Chain A
């Protein structure tokens, strides 16, 4: 069942592939952080038809599977638009849009936690709308939500094997290829699973510590 010498032999290839998962997760998370912020700010301060349209789109994205959204982006966009993106970019943008809708809620909770007096004071000081957001509101809204953002980074990391469906070569696809070459299935898949467990647990531990430190500072 478990052959140590074969396991040691496949680890380097799987580790290299797992690095691609990490890169895809970080890139996707960066997109999600920006898209989420845009959705949150427009949802707070746009005109009501724009708000309504945004809310409908966000609901639709949140209630449909990432896998299908990736297929749609990867196979339909080249037919509908003159653009054709690599599997990696499609994956990162797909994750960015999907999790951006989740992060917009997180930002919203952070923005709503800023005391109303801050808004009023900024308005009283006659600050421009941009200045109000960039210098007064967001610096107070974002630090408390950093741990929640960290949790979403972990969620996104665990979601990255889905990108193998659009031909992105990551750890799961690499494990599959290894298995089909050697006819040994148990080791590659088990190692791939363990890699995710280790990194997820390490990251959640880091997030929990960060949360403790932040709470210590705020209360």
Chain B
């Protein structure tokens, strides 16, 4: 593989790489604002200027300048090398680049910083970029001095509402055009543009339009300064109090990798951020997915319900035992509903209980009904684990819930043990059907038609409160970390299923998550480091796209 040398260090590059991309891959950070690994190159911020040494035997490209001579107290003619933007300069074999080792480059970075901050208001205290700001970071790394301009800076509009999700502050904008490129290239909806030039430049929305496509929050996420802020997150939390858990988005079957940022002091999630995974979502997430962090705490089932009345967990388990009394007489009368909303662990626990102890043979999968999708990231299947649930019960292929209702109508079933709360069928119809049964027990994290239809509902943890493995639409199994502590009486669903089994008099073989995972078929649960993705080929699915190494968190563009 050809190599280039950056500050004396040899790094390999692939054909067509730019210097900054090769350096980024090798873990060398060349400061930049406008460059983003997932977007086209604009080369307008000039922060990534580097010195490229001339080829052997060739003169350096240099610029004639005047430099202040302190001894002579006058400007004297001098020359300096022509610096190149690393984001645009293609690598060539044997190229030698000076980034941190060149005085010319440090001087240029300091000057670029000074230029960018000329008209930038020092309203850091009220700016909600709060500690995630490149201007602050690079000021400390590369500038460390005040600006020389003493005139009043140019003032531009503040707090302009761009759309339902985004607020724009033109004064803070450094016109890096990342947001414009996100709209053009990711969302393919060119709704943003620059108007005016030089220090009057600002971002503007197309006349008659709002910034309202499905990826508006990405424009905020890629903004390196505090110009774009999300109406959902601004003024809500300070980032230095937040901790991040590596989770998998639950919005649809794409299974985008995300960071769930939460405040451990009040056990509250505050936002979802995309986590880089080249095999799944590259650097992006959709608005719906980024806002779906709220479901970790909203609409939750927080106490056990017995006949729609609150009950303690022990009482509910006793009631469940009563409900399911007599299920052993005819195991074929027991229908098991797995959930496409729950993790592999939860589904396997129920499947294991059903096949090993209850003797059930009929399996169904519940989940949210199909929705709108696009060809970018959003999948029509709004369930994160449809594929996982189907694969868990591959021996006895699960059927849709509509068939369960038919079976109930024809009197096939007397008992239902269900996971999850969502139904893709009409809720009223399901409720009427379930009311004819002898026993309905649900383990659900959220309130929903299935939880309402059940006589006994046990409160399960949401994805943010329990570890779990999810298989996305492509067949890639991904692990999601626990972020929050369980709210209310919620416990992980697999644990509740184990307790339900023991309440029914069975000695289920697992009491901890590790024991459960050992009992699972290989590939259904991931070993090793949390967050690492492994191929789900063992599940008999199509070959998985495995790119586990990329999931490891690092300070990348996506976390900026």
A and B: interacting chains: no
**Residues of chain A at the chain B interface (Cβ within 8 Å):** none
Give B contacts to A, CB under 8 Å. Answer: none
